[in-house]
């Protein structure tokens, strides 16, 4: 059980560290994908204004017969209900007033920053917790890759509607996992095992096996990196459906899914990261005070360790790639300096393919072009081909660029400028 809790905590960390190339979707978009593969969902219509929400509610009532409606804020963050982003409307007047309140609000949840996220859309959904012969019941289910074994895995629990991290920490015995052989795919007995472990029987048992099979098919065929359905609902008449859907797509596979790629909502992404991506830079925003510009992901990780050793915190992950001309370096500096928390920039380049003197010239030219826009010290460490010439070029440039040769020397200089 400790292994399960450890796996969940590690997976949550990996999701939080945004270097994983994935594209997140809104709930309504994730449900569209699920529904296209035969997964039963809580039906809903997305709206951008209160008037649209009322029209959506009327249409839902005509199509489903629902009398009540659930108004859900559409942002890329979990825990929306805790922040007041999910509310029940019992009539059209409440649909309008609740939608008015949620649209345009800065929604703060356990998964957002302190500032929260701006709500641009709401999902008007049918009420599926209707009375019947049985009490509705909620479950948790996700499909993801178990990195330790290299196999896809269905993780599920009887404790639906709760944070799975809390369940893993407090009651890990209530979490089950089912690994799928990549050659065989999900076998029928595995789907039945999931339904059995959730304590289902009769119609609900059969419905759950269909749900699990369709869910796994959707995960594979959509090239997703994660499906998380919390809760999966057993209705009062034994139907099994996805009430919520958190879907992350593998960004490397989007060339196969142009329709999914069109679902990207740039309003939900870090604007600095969006700009960096458009410029061809691999950039991840972090909470720190030292900006770093490197070439190569391995060196970037080492540089981040170096910054921490020097008493600072990395403000970003930025891989400038194999070319570092003046324009590219200038773009990188500009992106790094958009973070007001940055107190220094460490340039750490290994000149294997690219010559160090060319990188140094790019740094000097970029510094000249930017002029007063550069307001923090820049420490530049270049090693590899023509490293000596590169250091001389920087030292003789007349620019306020601090050169370094060794790793530890660069760390010491970072420490000096942070203290100053």
Indicate the helix (H) or strand (E) that contains 384.
Answer: strand 378-384
- Catalytic positions are 140, 228
Task: Please report, rounded to a whole number, the percentage of residues in the chain having pLDDT higher than 70.
Answer: 94
The values of phi and psi at residue 407, to 5°, are -60, -50
The better pLDDT of the pair 1, 266 is held by 266
Residue 420 class from Cβ within 10 Å (0-12 exposed, 13-18 middle, 19+ buried)?
exposed
Give the C-alpha separation, 145 to 247, whole Å: 13
Angle between helices 387-395 and 356-370 (to 10 degrees): 20
Task: Please report, rounded to a whole number, the percentage of residues in the chain having pLDDT higher than 90.
Answer: 64
Give the C-alpha separation, 285 to 113, whole Å: 13
| 357-361, long-range: CB < 8 A, 24+ apart | 357/386, 357/389, 357/390, 357/393, 358/324, 358/325, 358/386, 359/324, 359/329, 359/390, 360/389, 360/390, 360/391, 360/393, 360/394, 361/326, 361/393
Q: Give the model's pLDDT for residue 334.
A: 92
> Which strands, in side-by-side order, build the sheet including 282-285?
282-285, 316-319, 290-294, 344-351, 378-384, 401-404
Q: What is the pLDDT of residues 254-278, one digit of tens each?
A: 999 999 999 999 999 988 888 988 8
Q: Give the model's pLDDT for residue 324.
A: 65
Query: What average pLDDT does range 243-262 have in this prediction?
Result: 96
Query: What average pLDDT does range 139-163 have in this prediction?
Result: 94
| 261-270, long-range: CB < 8 A, 24+ apart | 261/23, 263/23, 263/25, 263/26, 263/29, 264/23, 265/26, 265/76, 267/118, 267/120, 268/24, 268/26, 268/75, 268/76, 268/117, 269/76, 270/18
Q: What is the pLDDT of residues 50-63, one digit of tens each?
A: 999 999 999 999 99
Q: Give the model's pLDDT for residue 206.
A: 98
Task: Please give the domain boundaries of the chain with CATH numbers for all domains.
Answer: 1-35+130-268 (3.30.470.20), 43-127 (3.30.1490.20), 271-419 (3.40.50.261)
Query: What average pLDDT does range 97-103 have in this prediction?
Result: 97
**Could you tell me where the DSSP H helices lie in 110-174?**
164-170
Give the gyration radius of the chain's Cα atoms: 26
The answer on pLDDT for 88 being more than 70 is yes
The answer on pLDDT for 156 being more than 50 is yes
CA dihedral 220, 38, 36, 32 (to 10 degrees): -100
The better pLDDT of the pair 318, 139 is held by 139
Q: Give the model's pLDDT for residue 190.
A: 98
Peptide bond into 78 cis (omega under 30): no
């Amino acid at each position: 059980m400790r292994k399960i809790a450890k796996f969940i905590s590690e997976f949550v960390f990996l999701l939080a560290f945004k270097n994983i190339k994935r594209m997140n979707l809104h709930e309504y978009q994730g449900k569209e994908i699920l529904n296209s593969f035969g997964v039963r969902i809580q039906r809903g219509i997305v709206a951008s204004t209160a008037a649209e929400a009322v029209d959506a509610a009327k249409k839902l009532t005509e199509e489903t017969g629902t009398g009540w409606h659930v108004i859900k804020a559409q942002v890329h963050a979990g825990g929306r209900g805790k922040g007041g982003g999910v509310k029940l409307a019992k009539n059209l007047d409440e649909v309008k007033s609740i939608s008015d309140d949620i649209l345009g609000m800065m929604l703060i949840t356990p998964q957002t920053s302190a500032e929260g996220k701006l709500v641009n859309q709401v999902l008007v959904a049918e009420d599926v917790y209707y009375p019947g012969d049985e009490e509705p019941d909620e479950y948790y289910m996700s499909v993801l890759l178990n990195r330790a074994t290299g196999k896809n895995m269905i993780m599920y629990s009887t404790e639906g509607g709760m944070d799975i991290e809390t369940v893993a920490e407090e009651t890990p015995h209530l979490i089950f996992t089912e690994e799928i052989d990549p050659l065989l795919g999900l076998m029928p007995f595995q789907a039945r095992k999931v339904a059995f472990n959730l304590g289902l029987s009769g119609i609900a048992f059969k419905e759950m096996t269909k749900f699990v099979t369709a869910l796994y098919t959707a995960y594979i065929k959509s090239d997703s990196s994660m499906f998380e359905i919390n809760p999966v609902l057993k209705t009062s008449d034994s139907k099994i459906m996805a009430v919520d859907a958190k879907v992350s797509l593998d960004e490397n596979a989007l060339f196969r899914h142009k329709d999914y790629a069109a679902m990207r909502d740039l309003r939900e992404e870090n604007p600095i990261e969006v700009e960096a991506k458009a410029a061809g830079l691999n950039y991840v925003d972090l909470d720190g005070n030292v900006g770093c510009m490197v070439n190569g992901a391995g060196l970037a990780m080492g540089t981040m360790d170096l910054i921490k050793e020097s008493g600072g915190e990395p403000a970003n992950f930025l891989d400038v790639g194999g070319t570092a001309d003046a324009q590219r370096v200038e773009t990188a500096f500009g992106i790094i300096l958009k973070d007001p928390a940055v107190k220094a920039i460490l340039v750490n380049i290994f000149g294997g393919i690219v010559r160090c003197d060319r990188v140094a010239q790019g740094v000097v030219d970029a510094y000249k072009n930017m002029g007063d826009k550069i307001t923090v010290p820049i420490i530049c460490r270049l090693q590899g081909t023509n490293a000596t010439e590169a250091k001389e070029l920087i030292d003789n440039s007349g620019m306020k660029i601090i050169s370094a040769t060794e790793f530890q020397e660069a760390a010491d200089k970072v420490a000096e400028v942070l203290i100053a």
